[in-house]
Structure 1
C-alpha cells in the first residue's frame, strides 16, 4: 500500500531499546553469584514496571510496553547465558574471576584495588571491573609478587600483585 493511504498516527517509530554492555563474541558470560542475583532482581523490577505501567493513551502505553519488553528480552538472554563461577572455588593464590586484587603501579607508585566480575556487574565507582577489561586480563593468572604488563595506549605499565582475596 502506498504511504499516502496510511494515517500519520499509524506511522510510529520503533522505540529505542538501550543495549546492554557488550559481551565479546565467543566469550562465556561468567557471573558471580551476586551478579546472577542482580540480574534476577532487575528482571523482577522490569516485571513490576510492566504490571504497574500507567500511560495517558494507547500509543504511549504501546511504546512503553515495547521498551520494557525489549529490555526484558535482552536481560533474559543474558540470564540464560550466565555461567556462575563461585569465587570460593577459585585457587586462593592466583588472580582469577571473582578475585579482589590489590596492585601497585611500579612506575607511578600508585596502589589500586578492584574486584574482577561479570560484564553486567562491572561498576568502576564500586571498584568492580569486567573480566574482559584489559587490566583484568593482564593480571589474571598472576600470583602475589608477580608483575603483569598492562598496555595503556602507547604506554606499558608494570603492575605488581600485592594481594588476592576471594570473599
Structure 2
C-alpha cells in the first residue's frame, strides 16, 4: 500500500530577479551538466553485467530519478512565477522585496529581505513572504510595532528602517 501524502499548500508566486536567475541556473546545471554525466555513468555501469548487485547502476538510476523530478518541478514552478523587478509605488511601507531592519526588545538589530518562498535563506537574511514574521511585517511602516506569534511565545519587534536596494 502506498504512503499517502496530503497535498502541500503552494507558496506565493512572486520571486525576485536574483531568485529567478538562481532557479534557472540550477535547472541548467541539472539538465545540461549533471544529467548527461549521470546518464553516461549509468550506461557504463550497465555494461558491467548483473545490474541487481551493481551499486553504481542502482545509485545512478536513483540519482537520475531525483534529477528528473527536480527538473520537472523547476520547469513547472518557473512557468507560474511572477518576477517582481521594481519597487512598489509606496516605498514607506513594507512590501515584497523590501529590506527591513528590525529591533527587538533587547535592542538587538537584525536586517531581513522579504522574498518569495523559493528563495528564502535565513542565514543570508532572506525571509519568505509566507512566513509568520514576514506576514506580520507586510504593510507596516517605520517605527511600527510587529508582534510575531511563535512556538517560543509572543515576540515584539520595532521597524527601524525600510529600503528597496
- Tell me which interval the TM-score lies in, with the shorter structure as reference length: 0.7 to 0.9
TM-score (norm 1): 0.77
Contact 1:95 1:164 survives alignment (8 Å): yes
Structure 1 unaligned residues grouped into runs of 5+: 1-21
**Distance in 2, Cα, partners of 1:165 & 1:83:** 21
1:81, CA displacement in angstroms?
1.7
Partner of residue 63, structure 1? 62
Structure 1 stretches of 4+ moved >4 Å: none
1:151, CA displacement in angstroms?
1.2
Partner of residue 151, structure 2? 153
Q: Which moved more, 1:62-71 or 1:31-40?
A: 62-71
Report the RMSD for the aligned CA atoms in angstroms.
2.0
TM-score (norm 2): 0.78
Number of aligned residue pairs: 144
Structure 2 unaligned residues grouped into runs of 5+: 1-6, 47-56
Q: Which moved more, 1:37-46 or 1:152-161?
A: 152-161
